[in-house]
Structure 1
């Protein structure tokens, strides 16, 4: 791994603080990743970030997130003549939306994404703290082995963890059909168009011959 790349990533994101994200989230109800993206797009300008979220319809979508989503679909997908199987549950508020072609297409696209990209968690908050600490310790140890100055190691670790999440968290992964979008972007578009609380509840991926976890 090239830790200089992680260091650069860390430098890019340092201007956007956790407090800025929290303030924007509290004000708009938008998700953490959406708030970070809005602040990055607006170079940290709070008012422009709020406008960005409103233009994208993300603040409104987030306000629906406390509504009960108990309908939906369980999508089952088999790939490679049965060598890989995926089951993913996606929920919505109404049976009407559960039958919508766009909703079912989204569930199918998630199954394809999971089969191809092997995420481990649905969202960032699902990652166990112990797992993040282990990855951070590995990144710090490798950076020290490469002789990186102690002062820059926290930024390197931050960049490393960001890439780790991009690879292992479904909502942060690049969409396999269009890498200019993430799965979160795909989700946002659907939530805004359907005007319901959409929840990617859970998934499981099996591959022939793999050991049980």
Structure 2
């Protein structure tokens, strides 16, 4: 009998199993929805739905490089133990490579074909949930491209090649020597990993953040009782200091504290043989912003023991 797309969709929503597995289940059971659910349960493929509401804040950051481009992905799991699983590492590594063609669009990446499976990336994650036994999710993706130039990468706390707990991309626009650009880009990426700047230049800092700082500085200055024209100068001075703290190019370069990042870029341009422009940066730290569940391990053990 013919299985409709609506039937497949309904079964997938009920079980969390992959699209192809849902279609096979319905085919094997002549379209009987309940029988198809049982078929998936027997195969162990309906486990994913039971785990979907569990917090996944561990996992890995994956990095992949292409020609003049690079991608970052964050794939979360429930425990750090799974992040050390070779199957999970292989999943993240492949997703990062596929992300290069996604233009940073998470939905496009989830819908992309997962190589060698006949499934989408999203369905492959669902398969991994059923196989490994933990909730997992592709949380975010970023891609930087530049021409001419390079996109350098850095992975901190690496657990395997291109996989770790924190990843950074740095796009450098230049016609200079690629090896020199890559070395500079990697150093800047290490700086970004350590310092976490808000933007590349002062002009790129979120205006709302700047306005909030300006208001605080002005209120503090007025408490001194000084006239408004003096207060304005005091505020501008404080903002210049603020930019030095949060704008990448104005920051003291952690790799060479005698220079700002901007001065280091300018100094390297001569070696590279062409001007260099830092176009963009991206920094992913694993689990940042995710509210993790607090658990009482002793209570969990006691409950498991039936006490």
Q: CA deviation at 1:184?
A: 0.7
- Which consecutive unaligned segments of at least 5 residues does structure 1 have? 1-68
| 2:186 counterpart SS class | helix
Matched with 2:295 is none
2:272 to 183, 191, 194: 194
2:238 to 157, 160, 182: 160
Matched with 1:7 is none
> Residue 109 in 1 paired to residue 187 in 2?
yes
> Residue 121 in 1 paired to residue 203 in 2?
no
> Residue 180 in 1 paired to residue 262 in 2?
no
Q: CA deviation at 1:112?
A: 0.5
RMSD: 2.0
Greater relative contact order: 1 or 2 (C-alpha under 8 angstroms, separation 6 or more)?
1
Residues 117 and 148 of structure 1: is their aligned pair in 2 closer, same or farther, counting only changes over 3 Å?
farther
> Residue 150 in 1 paired to residue 227 in 2?
yes
2:154 to 67, 73, 77: 77
Matched with 1:19 is none
Relative to its length, the structure with more helix (as a share) is 1
Distance (Å, rounded) in 2 between the aligned partners of 1:201 and 1:73 = 10
| 1:180 counterpart SS class | coil
Q: CA deviation at 1:204?
A: 0.8
Moved over 4 A (4+): none
Q: Contact 2:266–2:276 at 8 Å: present in 1 too?
A: no
| 1:205 counterpart SS class | strand
Q: CA deviation at 1:128?
A: 3.9
> Aligned pairs, how many?
139
Q: CA deviation at 1:148?
A: 4.3
Distance (Å, rounded) in 1 between the aligned partners of 2:287 and 2:219 = 33
- Which consecutive unaligned segments of at least 5 residues does structure 2 have? 1-145, 159-163, 291-307
Larger Cα Rg: Structure 1 or Structure 2?
2
User: TM-score scaled to structure 2, two decimals?
Assistant: 0.42
